[in-house]
């Protein structure tokens, strides 16, 4: 059965095992061999990252086609307005197209571990929190969405992917699960698809068949 790792990725850690620039990577925290990240989480974002040793499960989690819903707790600059929340729910026009409607709600400040380094505090500018659930995975999508409605992201923590929850894992901690592999997709043959056989099948009309038989009898 596949192994699945739930990892709380700290801030400023790459979602990969190697880096030629010497930055912190998954290898600094995870000792299990033969596992790979299913999807990614930005270098300066925190929270739940899934890893597995099963390619089929990795694809099922990471590929946008499967629409695994991802839940983020986002601290933004400013007191986010109801109008901005409504825009996020409806869809935001970004450079790479319109986002799908998101599930969005204002959130009381959650009880989280202190970030290292901490978010810069500015007394004259308030901050607020919002929960955003999306089922697509464009590059830095949540940050671009909040910036587009006038409330830049200051801190971003992913707390869930599908049914998998971050729960009480602290930064740098992980737990391992044994899970069932997803069912393989059924392959439906197209009506136009011809399945080749070891020998080609040749069909003759009755007239051509009789002619062939006559030639065969005529051979010495």
| C-alpha dihedral (26, 29, 35, 40), degrees to nearest 10 | -40
User: Dihedral through CA 133, CA 9, CA 1, CA 53, nearest 10?
Assistant: 110
Distance of CA 70 to the CA centre of its chain: 8
Find where tokens 């391992």 sit. Answer: 176
The β-bridge relationship of strands 46-52 and 153-161 is parallel
Instruction: Please tell me which residue in 12, 42, 79, 180 is annotated as part of the active site.
Output: 42
Asked whether the beta carbons of 57 and 63 are under 8 A apart, the reply is no
Q: How far apart are CA 62 and CA 185, in angstroms?
A: 16
How does strand 46-52 pair with strand 36-37?
antiparallel
* Sign of the CA dihedral running 165, 171, 177, 183: positive
* Mode of pairing for the β-strands spanning 93-94 and 70-77: unpaired
Is 42 considered catalytic here?
A: yes
Dig out the tokens for 105 from the structure. Answer: 């709600």
- The residues annotated with a catalytic role in the active site are 42
């Amino acid at each position: 059965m596949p192994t699945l790792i739930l990892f709380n990725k700290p801030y400023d850690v790459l979602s990969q095992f190697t880096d030629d620039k010497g930055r912190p990577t998954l290898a600094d925290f995870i000792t299990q061999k033969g596992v790979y990240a299913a999807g990614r989480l930005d270098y300066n974002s925190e929270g739940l990252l899934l890893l597995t040793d099963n390619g089929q499960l990795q694809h099922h989690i990471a590929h946008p086609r499967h629409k695994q819903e991802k839940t983020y707790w986002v601290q933004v600059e400013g007191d986010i307005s109801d109008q901005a929340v409504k825009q996020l729910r409806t869809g935001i026009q970004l450079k790479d197209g319109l986002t799908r409607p998101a599930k969005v709600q204002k959130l009381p400040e959650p009880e989280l571990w202190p970030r290292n380094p901490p978010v810069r505090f500015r007394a004259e500018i308030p901050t607020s929190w919002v929960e955003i659930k999306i089922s697509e995975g464009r590059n830095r999508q949540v940050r671009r969405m909040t910036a587009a409605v006038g409330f830049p992201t200051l801190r971003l923590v992913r707390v869930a992917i599908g049914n998998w929850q971050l729960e009480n894992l602290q930064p740098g901690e992980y737990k391992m699960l044994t899970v069932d592999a997803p069912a393989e997709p059924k392959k439906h043959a197209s009506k136009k698809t011809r399945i080749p056989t070891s020998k080609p099948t040749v069909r003759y009309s009755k007239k051509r068949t009789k002619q062939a038989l006559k030639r065969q009898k005529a051979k010495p």
